[in-house]
Chain A
Amino acid sequence: MTELPILTLVTFSPLIGALLIAFIPRHNVQLVRWAALATALVSFALSLALLPAFDARQAGFQYVEQLDWIPAFGIQYKLGIDGISLVLVVLTTTLSWISILASFGPIKDRVKEFMISFLILEVGMIGVFTALDLFLFYIFFEVVLVPMYLIIGIWGGANRIYATIKFVLYTLAGSLLMLVAILATAFAFQAGHGGDWAGAFDYEQLRQFGFDITLQLFAFGAFFLAFAIKVPMFPFHTWLPDAHVEAPTAGSVILAGVLLKLGGYGFIRFAVGMFPDAAQSYAPWIIGLSLIAIIYGAIVALVQPDMKKLIAYSSVSHMGFVTLGIFIFQQQGMEGAILQMVNHGIITGALFLCVGVLYERTHDRTIAKMGGLAARTPVYAAIFGFFMLASIGLPGLAGFVGEFLVFVGTFAVSPVAAFSATIVMTVGAAYLMWMYQRLIFGEVSDFLKGLGHHLTDMTPTELVTLTPLVALTVIFGLFPGLVLELIHVPVDGILLQFRDATAGVAP
C-alpha cells in the first residue's frame, strides 16, 4: 500500500486528463466532453478506492506521502488524509463529475477551455483537502482561484466580470494575509528549533508546537479572515450572491458544493488545530457572527426575486451552522458541522442543478415570472420539491441530521444561541417553500406559456446528474452513521488536543 502513491493519483488525475484534453482538436467538442467526464469519473473511482483500506478507528493521518520539496525552508510535498478529509475528497470528486455532466448542454462555447479549467479546479480542491504541508495547502488554496475566475468570467452571465473580479479580490486579500501568517508561524517554529527549518511547514509538527499567545492571536486572525471569506461568514459574504448569480450552473454547483467547504475545513484543520488558545478567545465573537449569518441569510433570502440569489443567501445561512458547530468546541457540534458541510454540498449543489435545468429552458431565473410548473414538468417539480424539503431540514433526509447535531451541541453550551438558531429553521422553511410554491403551483404563468413546447420535462442526462444526489440525500438522511463513523475519531482528536491546550488558559 505504501508503494502506490494513491493520494497523489487522486489529486492529480484530473490534471493528467486536462493535459490530454489540451491535445484534442478544438472542434471535436463531443470528444472533449466525454474525455472530461471520463477523467472526472476516474478520479471519482480513485477516491472511492481510498475507502476500503481506510481505518476509521485509527487516529492520525493515513495514506501519508512525504517528499522534500524545498529543503532550504523545510517545505515538503506531504499529503495525507483523515476521516474529515476523506469525506470531503469524495464529496469533491462526486460533485465534479456531476457538474461536468451537467455542463454538457449549457456550455456550448469554448468547451475545451471550460473542461480544462474545471479539471484544474478539481485538482486544487482535492489538494486543499489532502495537503499536510502548510505551504502546499496554501498553493492548492490559491490554485482554486484561477479556474474559478475563468469559469465565472468567461461562461458566466451578463454581469460576470464584476462578479468574478469581486470574487478574486475578496478571496485573494484574505488568503494572502494567511500566507503571512503561515510564514510567521513557520518562522516561530524555526526559531524555536534553533534555526532548523525542518518541519516548519509540516502540519503535524506545527500542531504540536504550541505557539505563544500573541502570535496565535495574530495568525488566527489572518487564517480567520481567509476562511471566513471563503465560507463566507457575515459580513464577508457579499461576494457570494454575485458570484452565484453570474456563474454558469456547474460553477454554482461547485462553488456551493465544495469551495465554501474549503473555509469550513480550514477552520477545523488549521485555525482550530494550530491555534487553540486564540480560537478559544475569538470563539464568542465567531459564534455571534455565525448566529447573525444564520438569521440574516435566512431573512435576506426571503425577499430575493432571483432563484440563484435566494439559494446563495440560504447558503450563507446554512454555512452559519457549520461555523457555529465548529466554534462551540463540542463533539456533537463539530461532527454536526462536518456532516452539515457534506449535506449542504449535496443538497445545495442539487438545488443549483435544478435552477440550471429551468434556466436552460427559460433563460430566466426570476421567481415572479414562473408558476404552475407542476402541470408542465411533473418530474422536475417532484425532484425540486425533494431537494427543497431536504434543504429545509425534513427529518429522514440528509439536511436534518447535521443541523440537529449542531443544535444539540449548541444547546449543551448555550441554550440561548441554540434557541435563536432554531427559530431560523422556520424562516428557512418559509423562504424555500414560498419560492417552491410560486414556481411550481398555481396557474401556468404567461411567461411559461409563451415558451410553448420548449418547456420540456427533464432530459435523461439531467436525470442522471440528479439521481445520485437524490440517493445520497436519502442514504445520508437515514444512515448518517456512514459519515459520522469516519469523522468521529479525528474530531475527537482535535477536541482533545483543544482541551489540553486551553486547559491552562481557560477562565
Chain B
Amino acid sequence: MSAQEWLAIGPLLAVFALAMLAVVLDIARPGRDRLVTGVMVVGLLGAIALTGYTAWYFGGGEVEVFGGAYVRDALTSFLDLLFLSIALLTILFSPDYLHPRRLPMAEYASTLMFAISGAMLLGAARDLLVLFLALELLVLPGYMLAGYAKRDGLSTEGAIKYFLLGSFSSAIFLFGLALVWGFAGSTRIPEVAAVLTSLDGAVSLTPALTMGLALLTAGVAFKIAAVPFHYWTPDAYQGSPTPVTGYLSVGPKVAAFALILRLFVDALAPLKADWVPFIVVLAALTMTLGNLVALTQDNIKRMLAYSSIAHTGYILVGLAAYAAAPPGSDTERAGLEALLFYSAAYSFMNLGAFAVVTALQKRTGVTSQITTFAGLGRRAPLLGALMFLFLLSLTGIPPLAGFWAKAYVIIAAVQVDSPWLIGLAVLTVLNAAAAAFYYLRIAVVMYMGEPSEQTAPVQVGRLVSAGLVLSAVATILIGLVPGPVIAFAQEAARALL
C-alpha cells in the first residue's frame, strides 16, 4: 500500500487504535476512568485533526483502497468529521452519568469507538459486503451500549428490543443485498450501478430485483427509524443510559443515512424512479407520526425519541428531492446537500439537548420525566438557557442551525418541479409548526413552572460543560455562518454524482 492509501484510511485506523487502547488501558490500569476519558478525548481531537488534514490533502479527488472496497472522497471526509464529532461529544457527556452509577468507563469508551469505526467504514464503503460488515460493526456495539446499565430493567428491556428488531432488520437487509448481488453478479458498487444502468429502462424491474429493493428499503428504514419501522426506538431510547440515548439518536441514524448514500444513491441510482414514491410516503408518514406522538409524551427521553423520528422524516424529504429530480440536474444534488447539512445540524443540536438531560441526571435517581425540568431556568439559568437554545434550534427558529437545515430541505423540495414534492415541503413546515408545541412545552416547564419537589442545585461537570459549549457554539455558528458547511456538503454531494 502506498503512503497515500495509508493516509486515506488513517482516520479509520486511528479510531480502531483508540478502541483497542481503551481495552489495553483498562487491563494495565484498571478503574482509571479519568485517564481513559482523557486519552479518548485527546485521541479523538487528533483523529479530527488528521481527518481535516486528509480532507485538505485530497481536496476534491478520491482515493480507492483495498482494491476499491474503501474510498476516500469528500463525502467520506464529511461523514468522518461528523462521526468523530459525535464520538467526541458523547465521550465528553458520558463520565458524569456513568461514574455516579458505577458503570465502568473503559469498556464503554471502547465499545463506542468500535461503533464509530463501523459508522466511518459505512460512509466509505464501495462494496456491498463491506457495507454489510460495516453496518454490523456499527450496530452490534450499539446493542451493548443500550443495555450498558445491566442492573436496570428498562435498560435491558430496551436493549433486547433493539437487538431483536435490529438483527431482524439486518437479516432482511442482507437478504436484499443477496438478491441484488444475484442480479448484478458483483458486489462492487460501481459494477452494480453499471449493470443497472445498462438495463436503461428496457427491462423494468424483475421480480428478484423488486424483492431486493423492497427488502433493502425495509432494512434501511428500520435503521433510520422511519415510520412504520420505528417501533424499537422509543423503548430503546428511554431505557438506555442517557448519554447512550444521545449517541443512538444521532450516530446510528446518520450512519444509516450514509448507508443510503452509498447504497441507494451510488449503487441503485438507476432505479431511483422506482423508489421515489416509497421515499415520499415514508418521509410524510415519518415526520407526521413522529410529531403527533411526541405531542403526548411526558417522558423527556421518549419525547426526544419521537422528535428524532420526526427529524428523520425531514431528512428523508431531502432524499425524496434527490430521488424525484431528473438525473444529472443541480436539483438532484441539492437534495443530497440538504440531507448532509441536515444530518450535521441535527447531530449537534440533538446531542446538546440530550447532554442537558445527562447533566441533570448526574445525581442518581433523577428521572427523565418532564417535571425534572421544572424551574430549571431559575435553578440553573445557564443550563436552562442552553436547553432553550437547543430546543429553539430543533424547532427551527432562525438564525440557528436547525432553521437552515429545514430551509435547505425545503429549498431542495420546492426546486423539484413536482406537486408531490411541493406538498411534502408544505407538510414539512406544518409539521415544524406542530413540533413547536412540544419543544416549547419543555421551555414552558423550564421557565414558567415552579420546581415541584425540593431539588438540589444542579452541578455541571467540566467535561459536560465543555461538550455543551461545543454543541452550542456549533448550533449557533452553523446558524450564523452556514456558508462553510454548505460548501463542504456541496463538495461531498458532488463526490457522489
Contact = CB atoms under 8 A, between A and B. Distances in A.
Contacts of A220: none
B440 A138 contact: no
Contacts of B273: none
* Chain B CB within 10 Å, residue with most, of A135, A179, A184: A179
A169 B444 contact: no
Interface string A162-185: 001100110011001101100110
A169 B433 contact: yes
A70 B483 contact: yes
B406 to A, nearest CB: 8
A141 to B, nearest CB: 9
B482 A70 contact: yes
B430 A176 contact: yes
A506 B448 CA distance: 53
A475 interface: no
Interface stretch (A8-16, A146-154, A415-423, A497-505): A146-154
Interface string B421-448: 0100110011011101100110110011
B484 to A, nearest CB: 10
A187 B415 contact: yes
Contact of A184 (B392, B414, B430): B414
A217 to B, nearest CB: 13
B413 to A, nearest CB: 9
A176 B425 contact: no
A168 B447 contact: no
A172 B429 CA distance: 9
Contacts of A195: 330
B257 to A, nearest CB: 21
Contacts of A149: 440, 443
Given A70-B483, A184-B414, A165 B437 contact: yes
Given A139-B399, A180-B425, A153 B444 contact: yes
A72 interface: yes
B398 A173 contact: no
B494 to A, nearest CB: 13
A195 B333 CA distance: 13
Interface residues of A, number: 35
A73 interface: yes
Query: DSSP class of A's interface residues: helix, strand, loop or mixed?
Result: helix
A187 B426 contact: no
Nearest to B436: A172
B407 interface: yes
B90 interface: no
Interface residue range, chain B:
35 or more
B279 to A, nearest CB: 19
B330 A169 contact: no
A177 B428 CA distance: 10
B483 A71 contact: yes
A165 B440 contact: yes
Contacts of B429: 176-177, 179-180
Interface in B374-403: 377-378, 392, 396-399, 403
Interface in A28-82: 69-73
B486 A72 contact: yes
A142 interface: yes
Contacts of B437: 165, 169
A139 B398 contact: yes
Contacts of A153: 443-444, 447-448
A146 B425 CA distance: 23
B490 interface: yes
A173 B436 CA distance: 10
B410 interface: yes
A184 B403 CA distance: 17
Query: DSSP class of B's interface residues: helix, strand, loop or mixed?
Result: helix
A142 B397 contact: yes
A204 B487 CA distance: 27
B411 interface: yes
A110 B415 CA distance: 46
A138 B398 contact: yes
A143 interface: yes
Given A72-B490, A142-B397, A168 B410 contact: no
B483 A187 contact: no
A161 B437 CA distance: 11
Contacts of B426: 177, 180
A154 B443 CA distance: 10
A150 B447 contact: yes
A394 B430 CA distance: 44
A443 to B, nearest CB: 40
Interface in B432-469: 432-434, 436-437, 440-441, 443-444, 447-448
Interface string A68-112: 011111000000000000000000000000000000000000100
A72 B415 contact: no
Interface in A127-160: 135, 138-139, 142-143, 145-146, 149-150, 153-154, 160
Contacts of A110: 378
Nearest to B441: A165
A230 B42 CA distance: 51
Contacts of B377: 113
B433 A179 contact: no
Given A160-B448, A173-B430, A195-B330, A142 B487 contact: no
Nearest to B431: A176
B444 A187 contact: no
Contacts of B422: 184
A246 B131 CA distance: 57
Contact of A143 (B398, B411, B483): B398
Contacts of A142: 397-398, 403
B398 A183 contact: no
Nearest to A178: B429
B396 to A, nearest CB: 8
Contacts of B330: 195
A226 to B, nearest CB: 11
Interface in B171-193: none
A321 B426 CA distance: 31
Contact of B448 (A154, A176, A177): A154
Nearest to A110: B378
A142 B486 CA distance: 22
B433 A72 contact: no
Contacts of B487: 72
Interface string A211-254: 00000000000000000000000000000000000000000000
Contacts of A138: 398
Contacts of B407: 135, 179, 183
A187 B414 contact: yes
A224 to B, nearest CB: 15
Nearest to B489: A72
Contacts of B430: 173, 176-177
A206 to B, nearest CB: 15
B444 A161 contact: yes
B433 A176 contact: yes
Given A139-B399, A143-B397, 8 more contacts: A110-B378, A135-B407, A145-B397, A154-B447, A165-B437, A172-B432, A183-B411, A183-B425
8 contacts: A72-B490, A110-B378, A143-B399, A149-B440, A161-B444, A169-B433, A172-B436, A176-B430
The 9 closest A-B pairs by CB, nearest first: A176-B429, A139-B398, A173-B433, A172-B433, A184-B414, A72-B486, A142-B398, A183-B411, A153-B448
Interface of A: 69-73, 110, 113, 135, 138-139, 142-143, 145-146, 149-150, 153-154, 160-161, 164-165, 168-169, 172-173, 176-177, 179-180, 183-184, 186-187, 195
Interface of B: 330, 377-378, 392, 396-399, 403, 407, 410-411, 414-415, 422, 425-426, 429-430, 432-434, 436-437, 440-441, 443-444, 447-448, 482-483, 486-487, 490
